[in-house]
């Protein structure tokens, strides 16, 4: 696997991890590393990263639209009310990852989200760990990018204390990368500068 940016047929240099899969490249270009300030969207991504544990992200990405359908658009107000019948239905749905602990963790996480949202806003809660501004890293190669950091460890611990599950430090760091809390596009990737520009204004709240 390449560890440095690769040149694509469109003349753009990109991080190596999406390869040349058009579906994965589109995710890299349009979503990964873009600062996300919507609290519901942050909940969705955190939950999906939890479902990813032990799997590849592309597996979850290809199932994402079905996940959204059966989890009511990841609206925490709806998910928090799921009962045994809904859990049983989800366990019978081959279009998602059928893991009871993760499904139940999603429901518990929705309840935790609602409490944080009421207290301070979930988006503000997450971004306050970074004083509202993305961390701009300057990695040259993929081997420099960490799997977790002291900050992801701190966020992980706090999330667990509030009732979230499947939010270990590695999952949290992958989440931070995806939602632009850290800019981990390699500096040779064309998206590094663009995501840096997008994060310059910081959290709007």
pLDDT tens digits along 166-193: 999 999 999 999 999 999 999 999 999 9
pLDDT in the model for residue 124: 97
Helix-then-strand count for the chain, H and E: 10, 4
pLDDT in the model for residue 113: 98
What is the rounded CA–CA span in Å between residue 47 and residue 188? Answer: 30
100-119 helix and 84-91 helix, angle to the nearest 10 degrees: 130
Q: Can you list the residues of the chain whose pLDDT is less than 70?
A: 1-2
Tokens of 33: 């590393």
pLDDT digits (tens, 9 = 90+) for 66-80: 999 999 999 999 999
pLDDT in the model for residue 109: 98
CB neighbourhood size of 66 (10 A)? 13
Tokens of 190: 């064309």
Domain boundaries, the chain: 13-21+28-199
What is the per-residue burial (b if ≥16 Cβ within 10 Å, else e) of 176-185? bbbbbbbbbb
Indicate the Cα dihedral angle 113, 115, 119, 120, nearest 10°. 0
Superfamily of domain 13-21+28-199: Hypothetical protein; domain 2 (1.10.340.30)
Tokens of 64: 């994402």
Give the global pTM: 0.96
């Amino acid at each position: 696997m390449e560890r440095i940016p690769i040149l694509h047929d469109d003349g753009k240099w990109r991080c190596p991890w999406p390869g040349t899969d058009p579906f994965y490249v589109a995710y890299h270009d349009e979503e990964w590393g873009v600062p996300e300030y919507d609290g519901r969207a942050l909940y969705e991504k955190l939950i999906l990263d939890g479902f990813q544990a032990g799997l590849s992200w592309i597996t979850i990405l290809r199932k994402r639209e079905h996940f959204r359908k059966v989890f009511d658009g990841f609206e925490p107000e709806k998910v928090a009310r799921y009962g045994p019948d809904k859990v049983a239905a989800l366990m019978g749905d081959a279009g998602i990852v059928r893991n009871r602990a993760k499904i139940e963790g999603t429901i518990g996480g929705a309840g935790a989200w609602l409490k944080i949202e009421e207290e301070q806003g979930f988006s503000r809660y997450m971004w306050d760990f970074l004083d509202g501004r993305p961390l701009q890293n300057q990695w040259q190669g993929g081997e420099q990018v960490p799997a977790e950091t002291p900050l992801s460890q701190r966020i992980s611990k706090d999330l667990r204390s509030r009732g979230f599950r499947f939010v270990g430090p590695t999952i949290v760091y992958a989440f931070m990368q995806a939602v632009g809390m850290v800019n981990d596009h390699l500096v040779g990737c064309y998206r590094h500068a663009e995501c840096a520009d997008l994060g310059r204004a910081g959290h709007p709240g």
